[in-house]
Amino acid sequence: MLYVVPTPIGNLEDITLRALRILKEVDLILAEDTRTTAFLLKHYGIDKPVRSNHQHNEHKILDDLIQQLKAGKKIALVSDAGTPGISDPGYLLIRACVQNDVPLTTLPGPTAFVPALVNSGLPCDSFTFIGFLPQKKGRLTKLLQLITEPRTLVFYESPYRLVKALEEFKTHFGENRRASVSRELTKLYEENKQGTLEELIVYFTSKPVKGEIVIIVEGANELKKVIANG
């Protein structure tokens, strides 16, 4: 059995009792960064073998992991924070389990975009999760595709590229498009700032920004779609 186990995105109290039980029961824990996971395990007094599973080695170790799972081992998959597979490693192993009839289950738990989306005050009954935009190739194409997207848009971004991303959104979506920026979610200095794209650019240009970033952008309404289509 493969267990996909979400871990806290900041506050270590944000882990379920079931997740802790699974981490104590499995034979092996696969971690995006063994050092980060070691800190979490030590905090909760969990002593289990930990093996790295990240974007640079997940192809190489895939067959071995499937063989271990078929042999009856119980393995937990975690990322540095949040739910594996959501802008984090995990997809390859999960897909391989499905293809090889290996039982798997994903536990509910922390993920950054859900609280950011709710905190934004923008419609969350229908939304599009984009995650990280391509850094170079395909970035402009993706942004152009989203100009007339009517659903609320959800992005992940680095603090070092926050203002640049907001400026790009302003260029393509318009300066008056409503948006929200969430950072340091669940931590002591959590911040959720709402406003137009222009207002957010001014605000974040004037201050240093730290922490992982979630940007929520209002979807295009019918009038904006007409204007964008000329």
Helix (H, G, I), strand (E, B) or coil at 24: helix
Rounded to whole angstroms, how far apart are CA atoms 50 and 136? 34
* pLDDT tens column, 21-30: 999 999 999 9
DSSP string, 98-161: HHTT--EEE-----THHHHHHHHTS--SSEEEEEEPPSSTTHHHHHHHHTT--SEEEEEE-GGG
- Which of 59, 79, 106 is the last residue before a domain boundary? 106
Give the bridge partners for 30, in sequence order: 51, 77
pLDDT above 60: residue 228: no
* pLDDT tens column, 119-147: 999 999 999 999 999 988 899 999 999 99
What's the confidence (pLDDT) of residue 230? 55
Total domain count, the chain: 2
pLDDT greater at residue 229 or residue 120: 120
CB of 191 closer than 8 Å to CB of 10: no
**Residue 20, domain extent:** 2-106
Rounded to whole angstroms, how far apart are CA atoms 89 and 83? 10
117, 204: one domain: yes
7, 45: one domain: yes
- Which of 106, 140, 163 is the last residue before a domain boundary? 106
> In the chain, what are the helix, strand and coil shares in percent, each to the nearest 5?
40, 20, 40
What's the confidence (pLDDT) of residue 223? 45
What's the confidence (pLDDT) of residue 229? 59
92, 133: one domain: no
CATH of residue 65: 3.40.1010.10
172, 193: one domain: yes
77, 95: one domain: yes
pTM for the full model?
0.91
- Burial (Cβ within 10 Å: 0-12, 13-18, ≥19) of residue 149: middle
- Which of 49, 78, 106 is the last residue before a domain boundary? 106
155, 102: one domain: no
117, 99: one domain: no
Section 73-99 average pLDDT? 95
pLDDT above 90: residue 170: yes
pLDDT above 50: residue 226: no
